[in-house]
Structure 1
């Protein structure tokens, strides 16, 4: 049921008393009005009634001038007595340059877009937007945040998008949004969680540091990192940097296993055992071989090359030509070259056909164009239909402008290899309740799970307060039904374990 706008002024859930402009310009000084709607959904077998608040929160700079308009959708459970102890989770995606649509309509929110779970293309509309029986709304109120330049969020007043596009800049504005949201909804004493995917995991770490790094401390109970990347040295292929070759190898092994490019004996081991064998090879013989470089003994070289062929499914002649160093993009093109297919980056279960089957790199990511049409249609249909949003502005699902103009420089002088993982170690040391959940897809060639394991093993992070889970899917592991069900159960236990 949609409530009339006049009723908003009487409710405690109003996002901003100044949200009165119906159709402001892109850099207007006033925010879009909020819309409140009432709904219900069955989650985990129980009927959950909830209120949705969709609208723009106007933030001001230190001179009380318009700074940014952050668009969000907040969900509040209404069929239980309100309690200050009910958790609230702030959810965002990554990119940088992505709106929160993926986690919103794929995992956490009360509605879910249904896409093929068997790595097939999503085709064209109509798509099915269904009740999400796995939503986290039964255990936590939810706030889906679109950073500036994504969704409907924007710079305001004299500010431009580039003023917000950077590791530090992004964390600073989102921290202010969290503070304002807690004020407006009287939730300062609620348990607070952050959930991010992909670059959103780096955003979560930077945001934790921004929130609880000073005397005006907003303590965070935990972060949920979906397809994590915190230390970007693990993802930047550059001469002399061995980290990506080591970190990506077990994902390549999982991919080769999935596509039937391993021996019968290795196939009989099963996915997890084969992946574990590749971990041990990557961490020991392969890492030592890369470090040795031209000093590697010819017999050792041959032994490593043979094992590398075993785990990647690539022939030894090719591995010779690339000097035992297979990048993710090259692997995506090479593994199924004989079949004129390329495998996906976000999810290597997907395959696609390129214009030039003999080329060096893929035309596009089949696991990206395999789901993007469904999510784009779903978020626009959902916001304008069920939630009653009326703005005429374009909803930016993924902005190339944000990504290409992103400022990677950090306070510790790391313009090339950003590493926000130490922020999580610091958060643990300074907050005894701070916990970390990490979800990993075996077939994720964008943020590989072994690189995440290597990051967590370093950077001053206490592994005893980190829960690592794995799923037979890719970057958006929730598109696969069994992975979605397991991930939802794992997240629900993560919330509930804080109460024990």
Structure 2
């Protein structure tokens, strides 16, 4: 899944395709005041919704980008508190998974009958940092304006420029330019965070939180070495997927399977891929046999794939005997084989995505929250996910933008330039879209100071903080980064 990362299993909460709505004027910022109990303590905060107009070079309004911020109002010396700027991925996903299933002071809940409600989040990060959730153009309540275009903002460099501009505007408006800044990105949001790093020298950047991060900005331009590195990172995750679904090494603890596959992948398997045509037939067969034993496939299938089994083919074949497909974003999730839809990417039918046949999905619960509790004017629906943005994404723009071609390198250079900057990598063992082994190896190869890179591998899928137990894990993981006790 190189073009459609999206937001993960959290999207199963979403319902209803977006219908057209009358155009509404861009509202001024609106602030409301609230109290939430976190870790048994009441916390007072101000919630502010801001919609910023983006203009072209001639000054014509094109689109809007929006942010929902949560700032504590019951603490002194507010400027010394960290500010977390958070966004999800897609491209085409809103910030809703991190905002309403992770960091924010409010949680989205789903009743048995499908109705959504909003409740307090007892594990919110607002105790240790102020929170700003950014919805890029076309997501959330952000939009393309009449006579405008989203095209300038639907590419790796264009998107990063718009989001960084929103971050700077927020810091300036709130007089927080000197505050410690932490950037949190999930999925494609990791690519966005990495591209932002290239131009963020003016920010007091002290932390990066990268959740299931994708550093792949131009898949068609990948080198042979990059393709081999991707295959190496994938193999241990695919071995766990096979074991989870009753294939491969299913009779053993999955942690053992992952570790054995990891050692094989970074050693013998990596060397075999690097050898290419120089690899002897006998050695190729030995490697294929071992890959096949991990994946529960025939050696002939592995050989026919050039030792690199495509994850899309793998997830379709793994439970084919049961007429099921396995999730790419979460290999624990299965669903009946979908009907053929010409022109629709296979990844869009990932059962872990929860998308169905729709291209644009909204959240009724978040829509009510935004226009009710936060008093945002108008009636626009909150767009949680839109494949329409994803399908229009201009990946080719990365080719002409050096900073978009070396995303892991951007992080490495920024960490070397900012000695206080720490990076937290978080991933799930059941995520085949961004294998948990990949991002850390990419940062190592880019020359990042790894003593300041902390990794957490969790027994989750692509979206790692969906449950209450996982959110409690989140609070513990981020405590050192926020300079507060566990």
Tell me whether 1:441 sits opposite 2:428 in the alignment. Answer: yes
Residues 123-142 of structure 1 mapped to structure 2, 5 A cutoff: 125-142=114-131
* Cα distance change, pair 263–153 in 1 and its aligned pair in 2 (3 A): closer
Indicate how the Cα distance of structure 1 residues 236 and 474 shifts in structure 2: closer, same or farther if over 3 A, else same.
farther
Aligned partner (choices 440, 452, 459) of residue 453 of structure 1: 440
Give the whole-Å Cα distance in 2 for the aligned partners of 1:271 and 1:236.
34
Kept after mapping to 2: 8 A contact 1:439/1:470: yes
Partner of 1:188: 177
Whether 1:107 and 2:96 are equivalent positions in the alignment is no
- Alignment partner of 2:40 out of 45, 62, 66: 45
State the alpha-carbon separation in 1 of the partners of residues 87 and 179 from structure 2. 19
Show the 5 A alignment for 1:6-405. Answer: 25=23, 31-58=26-53, 66=61, 68-114=63-109, 125-155=114-144, 159-212=148-201, 217-232=202-217, 241-263=227-249, 267=252, 270-355=253-338, 364-369=349-354, 376-405=363-392
Shift of 1:159: 4.3
Q: Report the 3-state secondary structure (helix = DSSP H, G, I; strand = E; otherwise coil) of the residue aligned with 1:494.
A: coil
In 2 relative to 1, CA 32–131 (structure 1 residues): closer, same or farther, beyond 3 Å?
same
Give distance in 2, aligned partners of 1:278 and 1:368.
26
Q: Cα 1:361–1:94, aligned 2, differ >3 Å: closer, same or farther? A: closer
Choose 253-262 or 471-480, whichever is displaced more.
253-262
CA separation in 1, counterparts of 2:109 and 2:297? 34
User: What's the CA shift for 1:149?
Assistant: 1.7
- The SS at the match of 2:68 is strand
Deviation of 1:333 after TM superposition, in Å, equals 0.8
| TM-score normalised by structure 1 residue count | 0.83
Summarize deviations over 1:318-359 as a string: whole Å, max 9, x none: 3244332211111111111122211111111111111469x9
Q: Give the Cα separation in 1 of the matches to 2:462 and 2:372.
A: 29
Structure 2 stretches lacking a partner, 5+ long: 1-20
CA RMSD of aligned residues (A): 3.3
- C-alpha distance 487-311 of structure 1, shift in aligned 2 (>3 A): farther
Once the two structures are superposed, residues 98-157 of structure 1 have per-residue CA deviations (whole angstroms, 9 ceiling, x without a partner) of 111111111011112246xxxxxx976223533211111110111111111211213458
Structure with the greater relative contact order (CA < 8 A, sep ≥ 6): 1 or 2?
A: 2
Instruction: Work out the CA distance in 1 between the residues paired with 2:174 and 2:56.
Output: 21
Q: Give distance in 2, aligned partners of 1:415 and 1:191.
A: 27
Q: Give the 3-state SS of the residue equivalent to 1:318 in structure 2.
A: helix
Partner of 1:7: none
Normalising by structure 2, what TM-score?
0.85
Tell me, yes or no, if the aligned pair for 2:83 and 2:131 is still in contact at 8 Å.
yes
Q: Does the 8 Å contact 2:62/2:149 carry over to 1?
A: no
